[in-house]
Amino acid sequence: MKWLLFALIVAMVAIHQDFWWWKDSRLVLGILPVGLAYHVFYALLCSAMMWLLVKTAWPKELDELAPPAPKNPGD
Amino acid sequence: MVPALVVFGYLAIVLYIGIFAFRRGKTSGEDFFLASRSLGPYIFLLSLFGTNMTAFAILGSSGLSYKIGIGVFGLMASSSCFVIPVTIFFIGTRLWGLGKKFGHMTQVQYFRDRWECSEIGTVIFVLTAAMLVPYLIIGTMGGGETLSSISTYTDAGGQTRHWVSYEAGAGLVAVVVMSYVFFGGMRGTAWVNTFQTTLFLCFGAIAFFLISQKLGGFGKIMTEMQNDPKSSVLLTRARIPTEEFFSYMFIPLSSIMFPHIAIMCMTAERVTHFKKTVIFYPLCIAAIWLPAVYIGTIGAHEFPGLKPGDTDDIIPRMLREYTGPLVSGILGAGIMACVMASDSQILALCTMFTEDVFAYYGGKDRFGEKAQVWTGRFFIVLVTVVAYVIALALKDKEGIFGLAIRFAFSGFAAMAPVMLAALFWKRSTKYGALASTLWVMGTVAFTGWLHMATEGLAKPGQPPVVIYESLGNLFLRTPVNVTMYGFLPVMPMCIGSAILMAVVSLLTRPPSRATLDKYFPPRKEPGVPAAVSQAVPAATPDGVKAG
């Protein structure tokens, strides 16, 4: 699992370099240039990737570390 | 005048939040500097995000999009969408754990204890503080510029004037920031950042749609730009070299190495608060940067031919032109919120000074914790006054501080291998850390000097110019950057830092067994990661020096 996650992280770095649309000015849905639309999608993918990391690689040993400090209202 | 009044109202609100936080605070150092490590999940997410959002995220990114187009989003925003949450996930959570376990408040406290080093910790402190100072000056300058910009009017004679001068604006913003940091400490700063981030996320989207409606809709503008040969290039990344685009992936490594971000990571009440933070962080970045980049690109079509110094003003200009004074004022307040991100940097500098210098060299033991907090408050006033005086004296030299920030980003990014080695590599040593730190100092100074020495060498639209013929393409000059074989200096700086950390550590003696057992305790059961794996009660900050 660890190696799969590592491979996914490397893949995320790789797919950030979308050279194939470098000089393409086509519009997606008539409003977003394709190069921008791709990176907006990439941002959503990053959120999904982080969800996956939280679900599969969370440092569980930290969960129980130290009792919470007395809380201030508003915190 | 209306936008300026809205901003004044906004400044009054943040001042009140700071004073309110003061009334809720305690007198301990941990409460003032870290809000007693008690921030809840949403305050933690929004304040951590707000801390990372500087004036550049709004004004600088739109100004850059004006010049090079939509590629700015991929260049800076989407790379941050990935790298920053990943570093918070792997490094931020561990820093939080170390803070809970051993009472650390700063990175240098941890390095000193982890590698049994005193002076080397001081060297890292000096480098970190030096790279942070330009942000405070730019923040003060940005306050003056934003307030004078949104209070612009034309008098009867057709002259452009300002209700609020640069000097008064910078002074007012400096006093407000200083006040809520002075009184509220970390709690006040976190609450203000939460308020600011919420404001900007909401009203940024509203402004985005209002501007678009006024221009006849996104589709109409984009089609016009696509059909105009001068503007269509801005809908592509033709103006960004692929090597530079790749190199920018290294820049967000700086985020977790910024002292204010690392310190903020220690304020969460529970480690589980990081879960929402890392998942929502990319969405928050996209929500702020997409409108900024989009408006900047559209601005190039609507207001062509702005001078380089005026391009960062494109969002306030569009707001003045296409929205009413009230919306313009509220957005002005939002922009002010980003400019005022210097609050957490001032607090971080103050925390570093009181913990890494005052307390470490015996001040806390001699004068007590209360004196430490008041020393921190005095330091906040001192830093603010110095930043204001410099902002006035060197008003026309803003470019130098802007440049310093660019190189500081690279410097902090190149320090990331030091943190990674400290956390995850048992065999790393203080001399490895020293070698990396000296490398970062040297390369920041050298590339900064090379940048200034070759200013104007390359002309826009022309290929990069070779700086030293005998070295071939090693050092190239583009109109904007110095590059190495086309890549930004941050890339070799990070790689060099990692290599030095590894090689010098292997050649030198590791810390004592006691220290290694403290930070890499023997595993309780197979599969449990070693570092910070033992659940023990929270220690006081004094515990830092016990090891």
Are B354 and B269 contacting, i.e. CB atoms less than 8 angstroms apart? no
Q: What torsion do the CA atoms of B96, B99, B100, B102 make, to the nearest 10 degrees?
A: 150
How many Å lie between the alpha carbon of B243 and the closest alpha carbon of chain A?
A: 10
Q: Which of B48, B70, B251 to mutate to test the interface with A (most CBs of A within 10 A)?
A: B70
Listed residue (B199, B210, B211) closest to B297, CA to CA: B211
- Dig out the tokens for A50 from the structure: 């982080």
What pLDDT is attached to residue B97? 94
Residues of A in Cβ contact (< 8 Å) with B242: 17, 19, 22
Candidates B272, B293, B529; nearest CB to A63 = B272
* Side chain identity at residue B219, one-letter code: G
- Dig out the tokens for A7 from the structure: 């491979």
Are B216 and B51 contacting, i.e. CB atoms less than 8 angstroms apart? no
Contact A64 B535 (CB under 8 A): yes
Residues of A in Cβ contact (< 8 Å) with B100: 65-66
Contact B219 A31 (CB under 8 A): yes
What pLDDT is attached to residue B3? 73
How many Å lie between the alpha carbon of B413 and the closest alpha carbon of chain A?
A: 16
CA distance B369 to B375: 10
How many Å lie between the alpha carbon of A14 and the closest alpha carbon of chain B?
A: 9
- Strand, helix or coil at B84? helix
Complex ipTM: 0.90
* Number of domains within chain A: 1
B351 CB burial (10 A radius; 0-12, 13-18, 19+): buried
CA distance B158 to B191: 43
Are B160 and B152 contacting, i.e. CB atoms less than 8 angstroms apart? yes
Q: How many CA atoms lie within 13 A of B144 on its CB side?
A: 22
CA distance B107 to B423: 11
Phi, psi of B487 (to 5 degrees): -90, 150
- Percent of chain B predicted with pLDDT > 90: 46
- Strand, helix or coil at B174? helix
What pLDDT is attached to residue A67? 55
Are B192 and B39 contacting, i.e. CB atoms less than 8 angstroms apart? no
CA distance B401 to A48: 37
* Side chain identity at residue B160, one-letter code: T
Candidates B24, B78, B538; nearest CB to A66 = B538
Q: Which of A25, A26, A44 to mutate to test the interface with B (most CBs of B within 10 A)?
A: A25
Contact B89 A64 (CB under 8 A): no
Provide the 8-state DSSP code for A75: -
What confidence tens digit (pLDDT) does each residue in A35-66 have? 999 999 999 999 999 999 999 999 988 887 75
Q: What is the pTM of this model?
A: 0.89
Q: Quick check: is A58 in a domain?
A: no
What pLDDT is attached to residue B525? 57
Are A50 and A12 contacting, i.e. CB atoms less than 8 angstroms apart? no
Provide the 8-state DSSP code for B476: E
Residue of A nearest to B24 (CA): A72
CA distance B399 to B314: 18
- Dig out the tokens for B337 from the structure: 């919120």
How many Å lie between the alpha carbon of B375 and the closest alpha carbon of chain A?
A: 24
CA distance B125 to B115: 15
Candidates A30, A57, A65; nearest CB to B100 = A65
Contact A72 B35 (CB under 8 A): yes
Going by DSSP bridges, is the β-strand pair B482-483/B476-477 parallel, antiparallel, or unpaired?
Answer: antiparallel
The residues with which B466 forms a beta bridge, in sequence order, are B476
Q: Residue A70: which pLDDT band, with cuts at 50, 70 and 90?
A: low
How many Å lie between the alpha carbon of A66 and the closest alpha carbon of chain B?
A: 5
Are B76 and B219 contacting, i.e. CB atoms less than 8 angstroms apart? no
What pLDDT is attached to residue B416? 97
**pLDDT digit of tens for each residue in chain B (547 aa)?**
677 788 888 889 988 988 888 887 777 888 888 988 889 999 999 999 988 877 667 777 888 899 889 999 999 999 999 999 999 999 999 999 999 999 999 999 999 999 999 889 999 999 999 888 888 888 888 788 778 877 777 788 888 888 888 899 889 888 998 998 898 899 999 998 898 888 878 877 787 888 888 888 888 889 999 998 888 999 999 888 899 999 999 999 999 999 999 999 999 999 999 999 999 999 999 998 998 899 899 999 888 888 776 787 788 788 778 877 777 777 777 777 767 778 888 999 999 999 999 999 888 888 888 888 899 899 999 989 998 998 888 777 766 667 777 788 999 999 999 999 999 999 999 999 999 999 999 999 999 999 989 988 888 778 889 999 999 999 999 888 899 999 999 999 999 999 999 999 999 999 999 999 999 988 765 554 455 544 444 444 443 433 2
CA distance B136 to B127: 15
Q: Exposure string (b/e) for B478-489, b if CB count within 10 Å is 16 or more?
A: beebbbbebbbb
Q: Is the CA virtual torsion B379, B380, B382, B387 positive or negative? A: positive
Residues of A in Cβ contact (< 8 Å) with B245: 17
| CB atoms closer than 10 angstroms to residue B543 | 14
Contact B74 A54 (CB under 8 A): no
| Domain that includes residue A16, residue range | 2-52
Contact B242 A19 (CB under 8 A): yes
Residues of A in Cβ contact (< 8 Å) with B34: none
CA distance B457 to B463: 11
What pLDDT is attached to residue A71? 53
Are B271 and B195 contacting, i.e. CB atoms less than 8 angstroms apart? no
- Dig out the tokens for B130 from the structure: 């030096």
Candidates A50, A70, A71; nearest CB to B278 = A50
Query: What does the DSSP assignment read for B403-438?
Result: HHHHHHHHHHHHTHHHHHHHHH-TT--HHHHHHHHH
What confidence tens digit (pLDDT) does each residue in B31-90 have? 888 988 889 999 999 999 988 877 667 777 888 899 889 999 999 999 999 999 999 999
What pLDDT is attached to residue B539? 43
Are B6 and B329 contacting, i.e. CB atoms less than 8 angstroms apart? yes
Contact B294 A9 (CB under 8 A): no
Q: Which of A40, A62, A64 to mutate to test the interface with B (most CBs of B within 10 A)?
A: A62
- Number of A to B CB contacts under 8 A, please give it: 175
| CB atoms closer than 10 angstroms to residue B90 | 19
Instruction: Tell me which of A19 and B499 has the higher pLDDT.
Output: B499
Are B32 and B186 contacting, i.e. CB atoms less than 8 angstroms apart? yes
- Dig out the tokens for B484 from the structure: 């190495």
Q: Is the CA virtual torsion B196, B179, B353, B364 positive or negative? A: negative
User: Distance between alpha carbon B183 and the CA centroid of its chain, in Å?
Assistant: 23
Listed residue (B127, B170, B513) closest to B352, CA to CA: B127
Residues of B in Cβ contact (< 8 Å) with A8: none
CA distance B450 to B190: 38
| CB atoms closer than 10 angstroms to residue A28 | 14
Domains of chain B: 2-21+36-526 (1.20.1730.10)
Provide the 8-state DSSP code for B522: P
Q: Quick check: is A64 in a domain?
A: no
**Size (chain B), residues:** 547
From residue B167, how far is each of B161, B164, B358, B484 by CA, in Å?
Answer: 14, 8, 33, 40
Are B284 and B57 contacting, i.e. CB atoms less than 8 angstroms apart? no
From residue B371, how far is each of B289, B376, B381 by CA, in Å?
Answer: 42, 9, 15
- Dig out the tokens for B392 from the structure: 């006035």
- Dig out the tokens for B25 from the structure: 């605070």
Q: Report the Cα–Cα distance between both ends of chain B, in Å, rounded.
A: 59
Provide the 8-state DSSP code for B483: E
Candidates A33, A46, A74; nearest CB to B282 = A46
Q: Quick check: is A36 in a domain?
A: yes
The residues with which B246 forms a beta bridge, in sequence order, are none
Q: Quick check: is A60 in a domain?
A: no
Q: Helices H, strands E: what count in chain B?
A: 27, 5
Residues of A in Cβ contact (< 8 Å) with B238: 22-23
Residue written as token pair 């490594």: B253
